A and B are shown apart, each in its own frame.
Chain A
Amino acid sequence: MLGDFSVGKTSLIRRFVEGRFDDKYLSTIGVKISRKQVERPEHQINLLIWDLAGGDNHANKLSGYLRGAAGALIVCDLTRDTTVYAFEHYSQQLRKFNESAPIVMAANKYDLSDQRQISDESLQKIADKLRADLLYTSAKTGQNVIEAFDLLADAVSK
């Protein structure tokens, strides 16, 4: 789980794993690992989700976290245009360790549509460049949260 600070990474995981949302913002330090089994008709996928501190961009620090990553959900906050830069930065860092790692882009806080600062076009352009799937999510309402993790789970288990 990658992205700038306060884009909602921890909230998305909490929504996916625990099915709940908490408005309070608590900065993550380091990494918190959560586990979730995703059921498929013929098998189960064990997802180990690494919730990484946002805005911690030092490549040296990141290497310890990204070394074993099979794929990534990279998140931006639709209400802060500067958070889109994370997509390229983190995808480059991730693909140093895993060239073919699938990436799902989550454009989060979709519920705050009146404060939106990032256009569909600019997001789609980045998604095309990174060969990533793009989903509009809201940890608050739950919109597309399961879908985003499911998409990634299927991509990494291929």
Chain B
Amino acid sequence: MDIPSQALLAVHTVTALSDRMASAELSGELRFLTVSEKMVQFAADSSVVSLEGELLTDHFFEFVGSESFLAEIVAGHEALFHIRDVNHVTDEGEIQYYDFLIFPLRPGESDAGLLFVIDDQTENSLLKQELTQERNELRLIQAELSRTNAKLQRLDILKSRFLSIAAHDMRTPLSLIGGYADFLVENQGIDSEIRNKFLRIIREQNGWLNRLIHDMLDLNRLENETLEIELYAGDLRKPVQMVTNALAPALEMKKLDMTVTLPDEPVYMKLHSGRIEQVLYNLVSNSLKFIDNDGHLTFSVSVEGDIGILEFGDNGRGMYPEEVANLFKLYYQAEGEAKSKGLGLGLFIVKTMVEAHHGTIVAESEYGHGTTFIMRFPLIHN
């Protein structure tokens, strides 16, 4: 076999052969015999001055573990050992690339040995590196694009489902509002107690529609990154009082019980009262899907050091661990026994709003034992 004409360096490496070499068992050692001056710079130990007489594998780790294959080459059973593009970093930090080639020299004879050639491939391999880099980066972009594409397709399906449920959810309160309004117009002399009852239902359904539309608008703003929430110093108890007072009549009509526990002292934090109310309405709305008549809701505010804790709980059917894990994801809907399908929007907005208050939210739930949402917010002093 010819030695490549562009060979940069060449050196004989001759083994002390034994009679058993023909069977390709290396009983001798591969030591350098004749070494070109430049070969030294490729040795693993940069302080080495001369390689002559040194063991090949002490200075070129590339051949560690391959001694028996080298013996096969010495014996003439193998023609070549080729390690491509061995990276070599210069003192200046530049990468150079070399091919290591080992050829048989007078194979099978008593003075058989090896010819070790180091072939400079830097120019070609730098180009190859650039091409590989570009190819790999393109492949990564391609993989990212397919991931995004799959995600978009999934979102598209979810959005279609969302629109269909939203239309359905809006139709129900609109029908109720329309029905009761028609009845009141056509029966103007109706008993005032009944009239008030119907008006409360209309107001309640209108409130529900309003909140739904707000949530949808918020989602749109979140997607366009245009939702801005201005926080100001306020008492966390206030929005809780607002919501629980407003909910009391409706809960009573549904035969649901409610416990509210608030501290005597104000709990000051940076907040947007309307958004905290939205959080609570959405949590209540979610609970109502899983709670039976005679169910129980709890609201509480407490303080632990510099943290204000807002808890909301119910004694509904609770959730399975996999439901809890996905609870705050956009468009996620718990499967199974919910009394009505939601949009998968409310709890996503809850989490977003809590985080906009620099807070955290966790859900603790066990199937059959209700659910408690625990929100923690940083407090401010004075």
Q: Which residues does B use to contact A, with CB under 8 Å?
A: 44, 61-66, 69, 81-87, 97, 125, 128-129, 132-133, 136-137, 139-140, 143, 147
Contacts and interface: CB of A to CB of B under 8 A. Distances in A.
Given A35-B44, A64-B82, A68-B64, A29 B140 contact: no
Given A5-B136, A29-B129, A48-B61, A64 B84 contact: yes
Interface string A101-120: 00000000000000001000
Instruction: Give the bracket for the number of chain A residues in contact with chain B.
Output: 20 to 34
20 contacts: A25-B136, A25-B137, A27-B136, A28-B87, A29-B97, A30-B87, A31-B62, A31-B84, A31-B87, A32-B87, A53-B85, A53-B132, A64-B82, A64-B84, A67-B69, A67-B81, A68-B65, A68-B66, A70-B65, A117-B147
B132 A33 contact: no
Interface of A: 5-6, 25-33, 35, 48, 53-55, 61, 64-65, 67-70, 80, 82, 117
B125 A29 contact: yes
A28 B133 CA distance: 8
Closest 6 CB pairs of A and B: A30-B85, A68-B65, A32-B87, A68-B66, A27-B133, A64-B83
A30 B119 CA distance: 14
Contacts of B125: 29-30
Classify the interface of chain B: helix, strand, loop or mixed: helix
A6 B147 CA distance: 17
B64 A48 contact: yes
Nearest to B132: A27
A29 B143 contact: no
A26 to B, nearest CB: 7
A112 to B, nearest CB: 12
Contacts of B84: 30-31, 61, 64
A69 B87 contact: no
Contacts of A61: 84
Which of A48, A64, A69, A117 has the most C-beta atoms of chain B within 10 angstroms of its own C-beta? A64
A6 B136 contact: yes
A31 B83 contact: yes
Given A27-B136, A30-B86, A31-B83, A68 B63 contact: yes
A25 B140 CA distance: 11
B178 to A, nearest CB: 45
A34 to B, nearest CB: 10
B129 A27 contact: yes
A115 to B, nearest CB: 8
Contacts of A35: 44, 61
A68 B81 CA distance: 11
Nearest to B60: A33
A27 B140 CA distance: 12
Contact of B139 (A5, A28, A70): A5
A117 B143 CA distance: 12
Given A30-B97, A31-B87, A64-B83, 16 more contacts: A27-B132, A28-B87, A29-B85, A30-B87, A31-B62, A32-B86, A33-B87, A35-B61, A48-B61, A48-B64, A64-B81, A64-B82, A67-B69, A68-B64, A69-B65, A70-B65
